Structure 1
Amino acid sequence: MAAPLCRLYLITPPRLDDLAGFARALAGALEVGDVAALQIRLKDVPDDVVAAAVAGLTPVCHARDVAVILNDRPDLAARLGCDGVHVGQSDACYADARRAVGPDRMVGVTCHDSRHLAMEAAEAGADYVAFGAFFPTTTKDAPTRADPEILTIWQETMQTPSVAIGGITPQNARGLAAAGADFLAISAGVWAHPQGPAAAVAALEAEIAAGVAERPA
């Protein structure tokens, strides 16, 4: 999932009570921006609900060259044919996740505000490392607060792509893009945007472009 500059990485809301309606909103959002991946992150739901979400959203994503990443569950990611899995520090370890999904699917790892954790994940073979939270977020409990400097240091010293996550909106995305994030992972900042998801993605694209332009030559 390497990126030349900075791209969007969307995350679903924690519940999808109207899967068909969300699929339409997702399609509209994907049409207006450069989105690299959609992470399906559904909390406290049965496996069959996750499977239905994967089945309903994967065609929307794949038709637009967007990867489908499943949160937390390497076993389900492999069984459902997802493009990858994202694991947190309290979920399956990288090695177990890699064994479950095989060599050809992506494995991303949450590293909070720790370059040490990120270096361990990168050296083990993670396809990307995720830092955060950078801003207050209501989407999930965020045990750490990361400084944008970690993105700059990471970009200057490591090859493994970095994902910035946590409370990102069109109003604060520019600084993270300027700091060196390869991807901005966003949930409520898109789906709860007052003008709708497509407007949010369009605004984010403009802010990302402005931020990338601010990076040192």
Structure 2
Amino acid sequence: MAKTPSVPDRPPCRLYLITPPAIPDLDAFAEILDQALSAGDVAALQIRLKPAEEAVIRQVVAVLAPVARRHDVAVILNDRPDLARATGCDGVHIGQQDGSLAEARRIMGPDAMIGVTCHDDRDLAWDAAEAGADYVAFGAFYPTTTKATVHTPPLELLTVWQETVETPCVAIGGITVETAEIVARAGADFIAVSAGIWSYDGGAAEAVKLFNQKLNF
């Protein structure tokens, strides 16, 4: 078995939660979220609803953002810098088809957190870092049912990035309790998880607890 790459002497990897793409019962999910955020360290919550009307997104942010902030968790909205600013989110996450980083920064302002999807492309990530992204996201590292898997970067990409660039990197895509430590040791600053939390057999709170145990190696 090949040795897992490891980056020494860096801050602990942290958990970055992503909502399910649809939330049928918002009040029930808010309770689950509150329990999950009480169970261990979480850096951010990305609200990612696809597809969803603007009114639905606004309602979800209005209900979930206060829950996240009670636990000192940053609230990131997917795709829509205009709506992120209008709803008071802490930041926005944009994909390669969601407009430019410069435009997102213009809309959100200098203090907002802006992350950029970079798939498996270090050059895209470098350009984003140079342009002032607060973090870049690589993935999918494992098969996932949350979205179509097109890009599958090697774990070594995280190691090289960690060793050469100061901008933090987020690893995403099919990461589970069983694989979290492998990805963290490879060099991820944050591990983004959706189904691995909300669909965990023992419940979301237990999943957050176990992920944190794996990330504090």
Per the alignment, residue 27 of structure 2 pairs with 20
**Alignment equivalent of 2:36, drawn from 29, 47, 53:** 29
1:133-188 per-position Cα deviation (integer Å, ceiling 9, x unaligned): 00000001122001111111111111100000000110111101111100000000
Work out whether residues 12 and 215 of structure 2, in 8 Å CA contact, stay in contact via their aligned partners in 1: no
Q: Pick from 166, 178, 201 the counterpart of residue 171 of structure 1.
A: 178
Question: Which secondary structure does the structure 1 equivalent of 2:67 belong to?
Answer: helix
2: CA distance, partners of 1:99 / 1:42: 23
2:116 equivalent in structure 1? 109
User: RMSD over aligned Cα, in angstroms?
Assistant: 0.9
Q: Is structure 2 residue 143 aligned with structure 1 residue 136?
A: yes
1:147 aligned residue: 154
What is the match of residue 85 of structure 1?
92
Match of 2:75, SS? Answer: strand
What is the DSSP-based 3-state SS (H/G/I as helix, E as strand, rest coil) of the residue aligned with 1:13?
coil
Displacement of 1:202 in angstroms is 0.9
**Runs (5+) with no aligned partner, structure 2:** 1-9
- Aligned partner of 1:123 in structure 2 is 130
Q: Distance in 1 between matches of 2:114 and 2:148?
A: 22
Deviations 1:38-67 (A, max 9, x none): 000001111010000000001101111100
Amino acid at match of 2:20: P
How many equivalent residue pairs? Answer: 208
Residue type of the partner of 1:152?
Answer: T
Q: Which amino acid letter does the alignment assign opposite residue 4 of structure 1?
A: P
| Higher RCO structure (Cα 8 Å, ≥6 apart) | 2
Distance 1:163 1:67 in 2: 15
User: Please, what TM-score do these two structures have when normalized by structure 2?
Assistant: 0.94
The alpha carbon displacement at 1:27 in A equals: 0.6
**Structure 1 letter corresponding to 2:135:** Y
Residue of structure 2 equivalent to 1:64: 71
The match for 1:208 is 215
| Matched letter for residue 197 of structure 2 | V
The one-letter code of the counterpart of 1:118 is: A
Of all paired residues, the percent bearing the same amino acid is 60
Give 5+ residue unaligned stretches, structure 1. 211-217
Which runs of 4 or more aligned residues in structure 1 lie more than 4 Å from their structure 2 counterparts after TM superposition? none
Provide the C-alpha distance between the structure 1 equivalents of 2:52 and 2:185, rounded to a whole number of angstroms. 37
1:56 is paired with a residue whose SS is helix
Structure 2 distance, partners of 1:51, 1:63, is: 19
Q: Distance in 2 between matches of 1:86 and 1:5?
A: 22
Matching residue of 1:9: 16
**Deviation, structure 1 residue 96:** 1.2
- Residue of structure 2 equivalent to 1:98: 105
* CA distance, structure 2, for counterparts of residue 178 and residue 42 of structure 1: 30
Larger mean CA deviation between 161-170 and 198-207 belongs to: 198-207
Partner in structure 2 of residue 193 of structure 1: 200
Q: Distance in 2 between matches of 1:33 and 1:159?
A: 26
